[in-house]
Structure 1
């Protein structure tokens, strides 16, 4: 009889260990989701998403409260207009008369009026893209370094050090070529003033004390 409690305890130990393992496991909101680019269009009072180079269309459900439906309406009030969208979410749902399922959108990276976004050969190689205006500037960052382009100046290729900032931001910095360069990005809705395009990051470029503001988004080589 004395062995019975010990036997019960031994039986329950794996259960306790399993509960502890699940309690401590970090949660990744991207698990099970996919980042996709494609075309948004309106149909029968609904918003439909057509992935790049596909004929399938999915009914959009803003599961992550990204504001996508409102953003799309403000960028393309005309029901016949087309938008390019860069989104993360889950495909599922049953096929319906006007769609091939449902796209539960969880994150909005980019939204802009119809462009050549599906044909961008550089996107999958970039980790970050940032740009601004007045004056015009553009930064493309990848595993090989970053290239800074500014109006009236030669392209400036630089190695860089990347650091994470509390709150989900990033800092890219370089001291090469006797120049102090910093690019800061933070997770905040950003609107391109020239085109009205929506980006999910706000950017600030600093070169030798000169500060320029702009917008940014993660490239295809960064999985978050």
Structure 2
């Protein structure tokens, strides 16, 4: 074999090794975990206790979501404890005699009444929406949706989901003589009666009737 050809072949493993060691595309950071729990007041601080736990974490709002202001408003309205469904990062370092801090990056739901830690359907629910005047509530799961209205039997329907620009969603159904469309927009929405805060505004079109309200993702939809 010619000496120069031998040197080139000998260097091939080195070039291959350099390619293997080259840095790849940086991986996307994992989102902060989703957490459910209770918020209470302790002096000038707000504390978060995860469901089924006894640890307490000092709240900080890193997403500028108005969580602290909305919590103070609901607590001053006669509620001693609030339920919160949010996304954030827990720190384990003790702070001010508590178990650490919770840096909140997104709020799904904040309320003084209604479904909380004891909600057995949370993990199977894709989303909920509800409104008033007249009252209505809609629960959506993987097998279909169920519409509840006072004085009427629950209406179970199949549905199609369409994802729209800017994070909006449209759910539609035409079955059992009913025509239903649910439009969801990612913006903070406050319940007109309870004061609860949710991360979606909702518009329900049922046949020729237009109903408005708020909504939030359930545990089956992250």
Query: TM-score, normalised on structure 2?
Result: 0.86
Cα RMSD, aligned residues only: 2.4
Work out the CA distance in 1 between the residues paired with 2:145 and 2:42: 41
Partner residue in 2 for 1:214: 213
Residue 53, structure 1, aligned to residue 37, structure 2: no
Work out the CA distance in 2 between the residues paired with 1:219 and 1:80: 23
1:146-192 deviation digits (Å, cap 9, x = unpaired): 00112332211001111211111211111111322111111011010
Give the Å deviation of 1:93: 3.5
Give the count of matched residue pairs: 216
Residue 66, structure 1, aligned to residue 68, structure 2: no
Work out the CA distance in 1 between the residues paired with 2:102 and 2:204: 35
Work out the CA distance in 1 between the residues paired with 2:201 and 2:31: 27
1:96 is paired with a residue of what secondary structure?
A: coil
Instruction: Report the CA distance shift for 1:138/1:68 in structure 2 as closer, same or farther (over 3 A).
Output: same
Contact 2:95–2:101 (8 Å) recurs in 1: no
Work out the CA distance in 1 between the residues paired with 2:180 and 2:113: 33
Work out the CA distance in 2 between the residues paired with 1:136 and 1:97: 44
Larger Rg: 2
- Give matches, 1:37-116, under 5 Å: 37-77=36-76, 81-115=80-114
**Which segments of 5 or more consecutive residues in structure 2 lack a partner in the other structure?**
none
Query: TM-score, normalised on structure 1?
Result: 0.86
Instruction: Report the CA distance shift for 1:165/1:34 in structure 2 as closer, same or farther (over 3 A).
Output: same
Contact 1:109–1:218 (8 Å) recurs in 2: yes
Give the Å deviation of 1:9: 6.6
**Which segments of 5 or more consecutive residues in structure 1 lack a partner in the other structure?**
none
